Amino acid sequence: MSGFPDAAISSLTKGLNAVVEKLNAGGANGLAAALKPTTRTLLSSAVLLVFLRLYLKKRQKKSKYVTNLSKVGKQVQAGQVSAQALPEYDVIIVGGGTSGCALAARLSEDPNIRVLLLESGGSGRVLPDSRTPASYTRLYAKPEHVHNYFTEPQTSADGKKKFWPRARMLGGCSSINAQMAQYGAPGDFDEWAAISGDDSWSWKIFAQYFRKFENYQPHPGYPLVDKSVKGTQGPVHVGYYNSVSGWCNYFIESCVAAGIPFTHDFNGPQGTNGAGRIIATNATGTRVIIDETPGEQRRAVGVEFANTENGPRFQARAKKDVIISAGAVQSPHILLLSGIGPADHLKSKCVKVVEDLPGVGANLVDHPIVDMYFKQSGVVADFSFLRPGSIGGILKLFGALGQYYLLGRGGPLAMNWGESAAFIRTDDPALFPPSEFPEKLIDSTSAKDSPDIEYFCTSTAYKDHGRIFFEGIHTFAIHAYLLRPTSRGQIRLNSSNPFAHPSVNPKTFHLLAISTTHEDVAKLVRSVRLGLRITQQEPVRSHLDQTCTRPDLDHQLHLKSDKEIEALVRERVETVYHPTSTCRMAPLEQGGVVDNKLRVYGVQGLRVCDASVFPSIISGHTAGACFAVAEKLADDIKAEYAAARR
Ligand SMILES: Cc1cc2nc3c(=O)[nH]c(=O)nc-3n(C[C@H](O)[C@H](O)[C@H](O)COP(=O)(O)OP(=O)(O)OC[C@H]3O[C@@H](n4cnc5c(N)ncnc54)[C@H](O)[C@@H]3O)c2cc1C
């Protein structure tokens, strides 16, 4: 099977051999205690590998992706512009991720538009961990599939460098995400319309693009979802999984008991409270080629790309548009590498300034998250077999694989680490009575009925992005994250080498140039208090060990002062992987990078289409809006090109 390097297979084999040796030495009973977490991980990888090797082998078709870049571009000297004719396309898209794939697919429905899609990673289809909801986090450790970015030290969050994974494969972060299909609140998009000055981004008009990518799958357990407001013809299947762990429903019932109203549908109108499409993989876009003919406006005319850092450079020409869809970290990175960004910064990195555009890489916003950990009383859910420590565990994993892959995508492996969620406002007096919470916090929401905190639960607690579990006990976790932070960070170049990681600085709890922000921490402290209150409501209450006093678990957290909880928030805060707005759609004078048609200011024939163009971060999960933005741009471009042909 491709996609698994020999080194990985050999380390898995070593892991298996170690297990067999232990079996021979101590018998199956001694094994569970003897296995180290690394061995468990290796063992589960081996089981997944063996199973999916058999399963995927049957289904794998010949790859339709180009990996020999000389088939789509012309080899050139790095940084030079070829004197000879380059292979030509109407549109070149850099980044085959969530938005990039959707855009390429829709544009190439028009036989008049020839599209080249460049993706720096490979295909995720052959990666078991990308295809199995319960195991996507294991991809974080694989730099060939995930960029293992770390932020600059976060001075307002314990000075730590935080892990910031970004996918490097076709499908982008949608190939490694939790598949939580909540799209934000209607007010978020009305805010986009107000910022961009274009009503076509408002919810009443833009909502059609969510319906366009959706293929809603009704579920008998949720008969009250209004199907008339759902898309049924789109390529993305959206619907309710079978609930996998008991915690899913327990959490919802306890939220309702804590005063949070129930909703059947987070995405309803009522809100949340060419012909020749070519895909080249392993093709990293290194810069946009810009024609700077004196007396004429600068124009993007093509893209330079390469397989590897030291490999040959290739170029291809775009007759109409170059579209950067590399995500909120790499899209500004590519623009900066191409000389488009704040002039002072570009000069400091010895990059020739093509367009002084201060907004590029500025306005980085993300959703900061804080986790709360608890011990189960009894066993509501046990996912420890995902990293089996006994023969029984291995058999359970095989059974779960069969259930998921052979019996209709069900069973425990359908668990996506975020089965149920709740959205609230930190100024809701029913949840935070002013007598107990007198401080008036700034309203940073997009509308009076938009939320600013989301909770979700997981049936197992973990730390460090799933690398650390609480071994030997059954756990449960509630996660609270801030949907509308006031913090603003930035993406900058570390060097002019396109293969060097950019500098990622979300400036958590820190307003760019205005010092620290109290609001974000204060709202998260409030959300921890309500999270703890949810654990005291039935049925969650009875299923947690209320007598537990372990210092690394949070059963006693309610006894702490706000100051102590604030310290915990600063220590635990992490990304929930939703960075946006680094190439914002906004007026130029308000730090905008693209206009309402996603065209980069000052450079013709260049657009950006992904989470980086969000004028403001949405109050929820970001993948849906990335698809919808791509759907809208595809319609706009098709209409534009058709009008030009007439
Ligand atoms: C772990 C994780 C969990 C998440 N969970 C959810 C969830 O449950 N629900 C939800 O709605 N959202 C979730 N998200 C967020 C969501 O997936 C992202 O916001 C969304 O996928 C971003 O889409 P994009 O098009 O902006 O970028 P991406 O999908 O990241 O696509 C960018 C693509 O560009 C490629 N690329 C980058 N640089 C270059 C280059 N120089 N040349 C060529 N190609 C390049 C990358 O390899 C990648 O394929 C999650 C994200 C992560 C990381």
How buried is 542 (Cβ within 10 angstroms: 0-12 exposed, 13-18 middle, 19+ buried)?
Answer: exposed
pLDDT value at residue 395: 83
278 lines ligand 1 (CB under 6 A): no
CA of 159 to the centre of ligand 1 (A): 26
In which element (H, E) is residue 209 found? helix 203-213
Atom of ligand 1 nearest to the CA of 624: 11
177 lines ligand 1 (CB under 6 A): yes
Q: Which residue has the higher pLDDT, 249 or 147?
A: 147
pLDDT at 25 over 50: no
97 lines ligand 1 (CB under 6 A): yes
- CA dist 389 and 19 (Å) reads 9
Q: Whose CA is nearest to atom 31 of ligand 1?
A: 97
Residues labelled as active-site residues: 578, 621
- Residue 392 DSSP label: H
pLDDT at 626 over 80: yes
Q: Which residue has the higher pLDDT, 275 or 198?
A: 198
Q: Which residue has the higher pLDDT, 625 or 223?
A: 625
Q: Whose CA is nearest to atom 38 of ligand 1?
A: 326
Q: Whose CA is nearest to atom 46 of ligand 1?
A: 168
CA of 176 to the centre of ligand 1 (A): 8
Q: Taking all residues of the chain, what is their mean pLDDT, rounded to a whole number? A: 88
Q: Give tens-digit pLDDT for 467-518.
A: 888 888 999 999 999 999 999 999 999 999 999 999 999 999 987 656 778 8
pTM: 0.90
Scan for tokens 């950990």, then name that residue.
373
CA of 172 to the centre of ligand 1 (A): 4
pLDDT value at residue 26: 41
**281: confidence class by pLDDT, cuts 50, 70, 90:** confident
- Residue 466 DSSP label: G
pLDDT value at residue 20: 38
Atom of ligand 1 nearest to the CA of 330: 38
- CA dist 336 and 340 (Å) reads 5
- CA dist 457 and 544 (Å) reads 13
- Share of residues in the chain with pLDDT > 90 (%): 64
Scan for tokens 């307002």, then name that residue.
156
- Share of residues in the chain with pLDDT > 70 (%): 88
The candidate with the shortest Cα–Cα distance to 635, out of 326, 232, 212, 278, is 212
Q: Give tens-digit pLDDT for 250-265.
A: 889 899 898 888 887 8
Atom of ligand 1 nearest to the CA of 147: 47
Kindly state the tokens that stand for 44.
Answer: 């589960």
Q: Whose CA is nearest to atom 33 of ligand 1?
A: 97
326 lines ligand 1 (CB under 6 A): yes
Q: Whose CA is nearest to atom 50 of ligand 1?
A: 177
pLDDT value at residue 242: 65
178 lines ligand 1 (CB under 6 A): yes
530 to each of 193, 458, 556, 575, 636, how far by Cα in Å?
Answer: 33, 17, 14, 20, 44
Q: Give tens-digit pLDDT for 312-358.
A: 999 999 999 999 999 999 999 999 999 999 999 999 999 999 999 99
- CA dist 298 and 457 (Å) reads 50
**274: confidence class by pLDDT, cuts 50, 70, 90:** very low
Q: Give tens-digit pLDDT for 525-557.
A: 999 999 999 999 999 999 999 999 999 999 999
CA of 580 to the centre of ligand 1 (A): 10
Q: Whose CA is nearest to atom 20 of ligand 1?
A: 623
**100: confidence class by pLDDT, cuts 50, 70, 90:** very high
105 lines ligand 1 (CB under 6 A): no
Helices 6-34 and 391-406, axial angle in degrees (round to 10)? 130
pLDDT value at residue 34: 52
CA of 121 to the centre of ligand 1 (A): 12
Q: Whose CA is nearest to atom 21 of ligand 1?
A: 173
73 lines ligand 1 (CB under 6 A): no
605 lines ligand 1 (CB under 6 A): no
Q: Rounded mean pLDDT of 455-468?
A: 91
Would you say 413 and 404 are in contact if contact means Cβ atoms under 8 Å apart?
yes
- Residue 445 DSSP label: S
- CA dist 421 and 334 (Å) reads 35
pLDDT at 580 over 50: yes
The candidate with the shortest Cα–Cα distance to 45, out of 79, 76, 5, is 5
pLDDT value at residue 265: 80
Kindly state the tokens that stand for 453.
Answer: 């905190």
Half-sphere exposure of 212 (CA within 13 A, CB side): 20
Atom of ligand 1 nearest to the CA of 334: 41
Instruction: State phi, psi for 350 to the nearest 5 degrees.
Output: 60, 35
Scan for tokens 């991720």, then name that residue.
97
Would you say 388 and 394 are in contact if contact means Cβ atoms under 8 Å apart?
yes
Atom of ligand 1 nearest to the CA of 612: 26
**389: confidence class by pLDDT, cuts 50, 70, 90:** confident
Q: Rounded mean pLDDT of 303-309?
A: 94
The candidate with the shortest Cα–Cα distance to 375, out of 256, 244, 471, is 471
Would you say 176 and 167 are in contact if contact means Cβ atoms under 8 Å apart?
yes
Q: Which residue has the higher pLDDT, 272 or 181?
A: 181
pLDDT at 367 over 90: yes
195 lines ligand 1 (CB under 6 A): no
| Binding site, annotated residues for FAD | 98-99
